[in-house]
Every structure is written in structure tokens, then in C-alpha cells.
Amino acid sequence: MTGQTRKTSFRTRTASLLGASLLAFATIGVATAGLSGIAFAQEEGRQFSAKAGEKVNEALTLANGGQNQAALSVLQGVISTPDLNAYEKSTIYQMMGQYSYELDRAVEAQQNFENAINAGGLLPNEVDNIKVVIAQLMIGNGQYREGAQRLENYLNSGGQQKAQYVDLLVNAWVQAEEYNRALPWAEKWFNAANPKERKHFDLLNFLFNNLGMQGRQADIVKEMIQRWPEDKSLWDAWASMLANGGREQEAFEVTKMLYLGGALTDEPDLMKVVQYYSFYDMPYQAAEILEREMNANRISRSPDKLKQLSGLFRQAREYKRAIPILESAATQSGEGKLYADLGEALYNEGECKRSETAFTEAINRGYDAGKSWMLIANCRYDETSKLDRLNCDMTDAQMAEAPITRARASAISAFEKVPNGSRERGNATKWVKFINAEKLAVDRRCKFERNVERELCYQKMKQAYAAEVFVGEFKLDDAETCMQYKTDYDKKFRVKIE
């Protein structure tokens, strides 16, 4: 129960308590006037004259017939009569206060009861009773602090501490947001209650919460859970207290228990479970719960929720499961960022063509072109790892047409599309240099290998020519490899030899 809801509940109960107790107090003096005052009470100075008594009886008769306004009019005429004694004035003002209250004129009733005291015709215990009535009227009229103070003064000075008065006082201090003043009376009310009802526990829980008394609140909530274990709001409060007290793991365990027990069914509660799993680095479990509850229509399949679900699957490296969710979310929302997320998920699954399509759509919808082209280029370059490498047995023409050469050129083309003003431009330039360096390294390696092979063949041909005199013929070792260099060798080293 929220603070505002709780205060509204207090306000309703205050009005109910006020109606019951005020009527009981207000009728005390009036009943005395009707039964004994008109019969001329024997106490000195506490009796009605015949004339005044006749009017008072007339007012009583009208009031008993439900004609409170008429009764009030009669008394208003009487009160201005000269030579009324103090007892008569106090009694008449009491009656006027009651009838004003019956007519829902609380301010007027309060003033009449004040006049009853000021008239000086009441005994001390009667004055105390009327002071309580005035205090209750003030509380009922929204003067919570002043009314509560008066009622508290009465109780502290030896007034009868009826449960209804203590209850009303607590409610008044709560309405005045004087929770520290309400607490001792609330504890008195709680301790005196037998049997204790839910309202008694709720009140202490509310006060402990507002006074920041977490330890005592925890004790009362524990006891409430034992009494009403089926009440989810109590478990929620318990989890909240644990979380606010820095005991997040325990709060998570309580929430998890509620979920597994089927107590959580509303979307906000279910999302809290998802958030807890995500917070504790369990994205896969969080995604599983979110997807399950979406399928059960207990969590909406809005673009935001789909985006969250795909994000959780991506955190769990479940890119394949994230892809159809991202496709749905992107289609629903048309958001460029979601198309970029889809492109990244496809990139992680090695689906470069689909990834490039998604990134292109993201760019068209205003998403960062630099980031998009970087990932497109990276995906194209990653494809080269699946292709046959260049080798030095290839001719230059074969190398130029090799699939890996074309893939590298495609990657370079994408890197070069990263806009000059993009933060990614520097990285793109480095990648182009790196890819060109790879090709240059192959060229240099092959050139070196070919030079070493040619030099070895030159040595073999020199030896073959030298041995020709003895063996009668030019006999070349490893002729299959070296014969390709014989023309160059002869041109360089045997031009002058006939």
C-alpha cells in the first residue's frame, strides 16, 4: 500500500471514528438537560428557568422528530434571552453544537461547543468531554495537528483512553504527517488490541516505513507474512526492504521464489524478475523468462520489449535466437538502431549478405554510416578466412583473379565508404593499410622464393655446363623446375660462348 493510499484510508477511518465518538459525547449534556434540567436539577445554579426550559423542551421535541434546523432556530432565539444562567447557556450551546453537527456544519458546531465551555456552566469532567468533542471536530475539519494536540492533552491529563480515542488520535497525527507523534499511540493501540487485526499491523508497518525504522519494520512484516502468507504485497514489501537495505541478493531470492510459486502475474512484477536475472549476469535466463511471458501474453510484445529480449539473447551470445526477434522489432518500430542491431547479430552469425542489407537499411533510416560501413567491411574481410590463401605457385594473373583477392578488394571498398567525418574513419584507414600490406607481404615472399629457386637453378646449370665435357651432354638435375630459367641463364652467362 502506497503512502498516499494509506493516508486516504486513514482519512476515511478518521471520518468514521469521528462520527461515532462525537455523537456519543455531544449527547451527554443534552440528555441531562432533557431528563433532569427541565425537572429543575437540585444542584445549586444548575437548573433551568420555566421559560427557558419550555423552549429547550420544544427544541428537543423538534430534534427528536428529525427537524434539526427548526430545533436550532428555537435555541438561537433562546440563547439571546437576557438573564440566562451559566448552566442554561452551556447546555443550550451544547445542544446547538450537536444540531449544527447533525446538519454537517462542523465549523459552526465547533464554535458552539467552544461557547458552551466559555459560558462557565459546566463541571470539570463535562468541560473535558466537550474539549474532546472540539478536538474531534477539528480533526474532522482538517485541522489535524491542532485537533490531535487537544485530544492528546486530554488523554495525557488523565482522560479516559478508550480504544476509539487512541485510534482517532493516531489517525490525526498521521494525517498531519507527524509520524513520530503517532508512533507511541499506535504502539499502545496495537498492544491493547485483542485479537490483533490486519489494520493494527498495517499501521505499524506504515509508521516504521515512514520513520525509516527498517529493523522494526522488518520484524513486523515478518510477523505479517507468517499470518498472511498468501498476501503478495507483504512479500513485495519484504523484498523491497531487503533491496533498500543493501541485501539485493536476498531480495532477488524472495522475488524468484514468488515467481516460481506463481504469485507474480502482472507485467511490472514479471519485468522485475527479468531485471533481477539480468542484473545478476544471467542474460540467458532473463531472456527465457521474458520470451515465455511474452508467449503467454502476460508481457506485451512492444518494440521496446522485443528490443530488450533481443539484447538479452545477444548478451548471452544467442545471436541466432536474437535475429527473428530483432527483425520483428525493427519492422514494428522502423528504428534505424534496431536495424543496426539486427545487422550486428547477423554479422556475428556470419551472414554477411543479410547483415549488409540490414546495415544499409539502418543507414537509410539515419543510423551512423561510419559504424555501419565498418561492420559491413569487417564482415566482408572476415569472409577471406574461409577462402584459399594465395601461394607462390600461382601466376600473377591467377593471383589477381583469386577469390581471396576479390574478397579483400570488396572489404577495402567498404572501408573506403566510411565517411571522412566519422569517428571510425581512422580505423577504416588502418584496415585498408593492413589489407594492402597482407597482399604486399605475399608478393614479397613469392618474389624471394622465386629468387632463391632461380639462384639454385643457376648453380645447377653452371655445374651441368662444366660437366658436359666429361659426360658428353648437358645433363641438368631437377630439370623440371630449372629449365624455365635456362633461357635467362644462357642470355646472361653464355652469350659469348659459341
pLDDT at 60: 92
pLDDT at 41: 39
Q: Given a cut of 70, is residue 10 above it in pLDDT?
A: no
Per residue in 200-235, pLDDT tens?
888 998 998 889 887 788 888 888 878 887 777 777
Q: What sign does the dihedral 481-484-485-486 (CA atoms) show?
A: positive
Nearest partner of 153 among 141, 140, 142, 138, judged by Cα: 138
Q: How far apart are CA 114 and CA 90, in angstroms?
A: 9
Q: Given a cut of 90, is residue 260 above it in pLDDT?
A: no
Q: Given a cut of 70, is residue 1 above it in pLDDT?
A: no
Per-residue pLDDT, averaged over 451-477, amounts to 82
Per CATH, the number for 1-177 is 1.25.40.10
Cβ atoms < 10 Å from Cβ of 275: 15
Band (12; pLDDT cuts 50, 70, 90): low
Q: How far apart are CA 378 and CA 414, in angstroms?
A: 9
pLDDT at 178: 93
pLDDT at 456: 85
The whole-angstrom distance between residue 304's C-alpha and the CA centroid of its chain comes to 15
pLDDT at 496: 57
pLDDT at 234: 76
Per residue in 15-34, pLDDT tens?
454 544 444 444 434 433 33
Among 86-95, 246-255, 398-407, the minimum mean pLDDT is found in 246-255
pLDDT at 349: 84
Contacts 24+ apart (CB under 8 A), 308-312: 308/274, 310/341, 310/345, 311/341, 312/274, 312/278, 312/283, 312/284, 312/286, 312/287
Q: Given a cut of 70, is residue 446 above it in pLDDT?
A: yes
Q: How far apart are CA 232 and CA 81, in angstroms?
A: 65
pLDDT at 205: 87
Q: At what angle do helices 198-210 and 179-192 cross, to 10 degrees?
A: 150
pTM exceeds cut of 0.75: no
Per-residue pLDDT, averaged over 269-286, amounts to 86
Q: Given a cut of 90, is residue 255 above it in pLDDT?
A: no
pLDDT at 486: 84
Nearest partner of 126 among 39, 32, 57, 38, judged by Cα: 32
Contacts 24+ apart (CB under 8 A), 11-18: 11/171, 11/175, 13/167, 13/171, 14/139, 14/140, 14/168, 14/171, 14/172, 14/175, 15/140, 17/164, 17/167, 17/168, 17/171, 18/136, 18/137, 18/139, 18/140, 18/168
Average pLDDT, the chain: 83
Burial profile 483-496: b = 16 or more Cβ within 10 angstroms, e = fewer: eebbeebeeeeeee
As a whole-number percent, the residues of the chain with pLDDT over 70 amount to 89
Q: Given a cut of 50, is residue 412 above it in pLDDT?
A: yes
Cβ atoms < 10 Å from Cβ of 65: 10
Band (14; pLDDT cuts 50, 70, 90): very low
pLDDT at 15: 47
Band (353; pLDDT cuts 50, 70, 90): very high
In the chain, domain spans: 1-177, 386-493
Per residue in 300-351, pLDDT tens?
988 888 888 888 888 888 888 888 888 888 888 888 988 998 898 888 888 8
As a whole-number percent, the residues of the chain with pLDDT over 90 amount to 25
Q: What sign does the dihedral 302-303-309-312 (CA atoms) show?
A: negative
SS3 content of the chain, % helix, strand, coil (to 5): 75, 0, 25
The whole-angstrom distance between residue 442's C-alpha and the CA centroid of its chain comes to 58
Per-residue pLDDT, averaged over 145-158, amounts to 90
